[in-house]
Amino acid sequence: MQRLRSFRPWSAGLGALLLAFGLATGVAPAPAHAQGLPDFTELVEKVGPAVVNIRTTERARQMARPGQNPEIDEDMLEFFRRFGIPIPNRPGPRGQQPAPGGGEAQPRGVGSGFILTADGFVMTNAHVVEGAEDVIVTLADKREFKAKIVGADKRSDVALVKIDASGLPFVRTGDVSRLKAGEWVIAIGSPFGLESTVTAGIVSAKSRDTGDLLPLIQTDVAINPGNSGGPLINMRGEVVGINSQIYSRSGGYMGISFAIPIDEAIRVSEQLRVGGRVIRGRIGVVIDQVTREVAEAIGLGKPTGALVRSVEAGGPADKAGVEAGDIITRVDGRTVESSRDLPRVIGAIKPGTRATLQVFRRGATRDLAVTVAEFEAEQSARATPDKGEGAKPAPVGALGLAVADLTDAQKRELKVKNGVRVESAEGVAARAGLREGDVIMTIDNVEITSARQFAAVTAKLDKSKPVTLLVKRGDAATFLILRPAR
C-alpha cells in the first residue's frame, strides 16, 4: 500500500501570506498538491518474508589456471561470470596447481529468489544455479534448506527450485500489462551476500529488447551481484519481474538494470514444474530485420516483419513453401512488428500445431500453412557452392554487374528455382556489397530467370533511381540497394 506525505498550507491565512510574499518577490509558491516520496516500509514488511538468499556450491574437479587467485571473493566471482569480466589473477608458481579443496564442495556464488507457493517452490535466475552441485536457500527468518533444482531454462534465464517446507510466505504476482514507465518499483535481494537489501527506483521502459528471448523491463533500481533472481515489486506489493541483468561499461551498476517480466517467467516455470524443461516451437528459418530503406524500396511501406535470410532444408518453413527473401509479417493473424518478435511468437506455439504465416514476396502477400516443430539448434550454413559450368557471363552493364545462368546442379545446391550468378561486380554494384558468387534472385520485385532476362530488365531501369536486389549468398538472402553514381 502506498503512503504519500503531502505538503499542505498550515492555514488559509498563512497561505494568503505566502502567496503575497511570492508575488512580491517574484518567487512562485509551491503548488498545494505537491507530494513527497513514497514510503516503502509496508511493501518491505509485506513482501520481504517471501524473498530468499540462494548460495550454491560446486565440486572442485578442475585444476586451477596458472596465476589464478584462489582467494578472490566468491560474490565477485558470480559477478565476473555473469557479465563476462576476466577474473583477476595473481602471480603464482609455474604449471597447474590443484584447485583448492581437493574435490570438496567449494562456494560458487550467491543470488536471490522468491517463494512462489506455500509448499516451497522458489523462482530465481537460471544463471544463479547453473553448474551448482548444491543449492542452499536461506529464508528471511534464517532457516536454511537444501533445495532441489526442478528445472532451469537458460534461454529465458528462469529457474525453479524446491525446498521441503510448508506454510511458507509467498509472493503475489502482478499484471505486467498495467506497469507504466515512471512507476515506482523496489527490489529486494542479497547484493554481495548482504541479505534482505532493499533498493528503489522507477520503471524506465517496458519491452526493452536486449537480444534475449524475452523483452525486458528496464529500471533505474540499483542492482548488483547477488541481486540476480530477486523480485521487482510494484507499489501494490506484487512481483512484476525477476531482476536479471545490468548494463555496465565498468562492471558495476551504472543506473540501468533489467528484469524479466513475471508473466513470461510464470509461463516458463509452469513448464519446468510439469516436465523439468521448456518446450518451444520453431519453423527453421534464419531471419534479419527489415530496414525502412528496404521496406520502401520493395513496396512493403513500413519496416515491419522478419526478413527470411535462409530456410533450413526439410524444415517446417521449407515444407510450407517459405523462401529466402520472404518477409514474414503475420503469424496466425498476429502482427510481427520486427524480426525480434518472430522467435517469441513461434516459440510460444506448441510443437505440432498448424499455424498460418503471412509472407510478403515480390510485392504481394500470401498465406502459407506451416506445422511448427520443437525447437532445436539450427543447422550451420554451408559454404558458397563452386562456380560450376554455367553459361558465359553477360557483359558488365549499367549496374556494374556481369552475371551468368545457374546450372541445374547449382540450383539444387542453392535450393533456388531461378536467379543468376554474379561473375564480377564493379562501380555501384561493388559499393553496395555485391561480389562474385552471389545469386541475384529479384530486381525491384521482378523475379530473375536467366542472364538474358536480367539484361532485358536492367536495360529498362531508370538509371537515376535506386535499384533493389534480392541477393542470396550461401544459405542466406538479403536485400541490397544499388544507388546511381552522382
Q: Which of the residues are catalytic?
A: 127, 157, 228
Quick one: CA torsion of 114, 117, 119, 120, rounded to 10 degrees?
-20
> Residue holding cell 521487482?
232
Three-state SS for 65?
coil
DSSP for residue 29 = P
Residue 431: its H or E element = helix 427-432
Q: For residues 97 and 63, what is the distance between their CA atoms, to the nearest angstrom? A: 6
Residue 257 assigned to a binding site: no
Q: For residues 325 and 287, what is the distance between their CA atoms, to the nearest angstrom? A: 9
- In order of 9, 31, 198, the CA distances from 50 in angstroms are 41, 40, 13
88 burial type by CB count under 10 A (0-12 exposed, 13-18 middle, 19+ buried): exposed
Three-state SS for 161?
strand
Residue 227 assigned to a binding site: yes
Residue 314 assigned to a binding site: no
Residues 60, 93 contacting (CB under 8 angstroms) = no
- Cβ neighbours of 11 (radius 10 Å): 9
Q: For residues 306 and 325, what is the distance between their CA atoms, to the nearest angstrom? A: 10
Q: Cα 149–166–266 angle (5° rounding)?
A: 50
Residue 228 assigned to a binding site: yes
Look at the chain and count its residues. Answer: 486
Q: For residues 308 and 287, what is the distance between their CA atoms, to the nearest angstrom? A: 5
- Report H helices in 61-120: 74-83
DSSP 367-402: EEEEE-EE--PPPPPPPPPP--S-PPPPPP-TTSEE
Q: For residues 457 and 460, what is the distance between their CA atoms, to the nearest angstrom? A: 6
- In order of 134, 138, 245, 396, the CA distances from 226 in angstroms are 17, 13, 11, 62
Q: For residues 105 and 216, what is the distance between their CA atoms, to the nearest angstrom? A: 35
55: which 3 cell numbers? 548460495
Residue 33 assigned to a binding site: no
454: which 3 cell numbers? 536480367
Q: Which residues are annotated as a binding site?
A: 127, 157, 226-228
Q: Which residues are annotated as a binding site for substrate?
A: 127, 157, 226-228
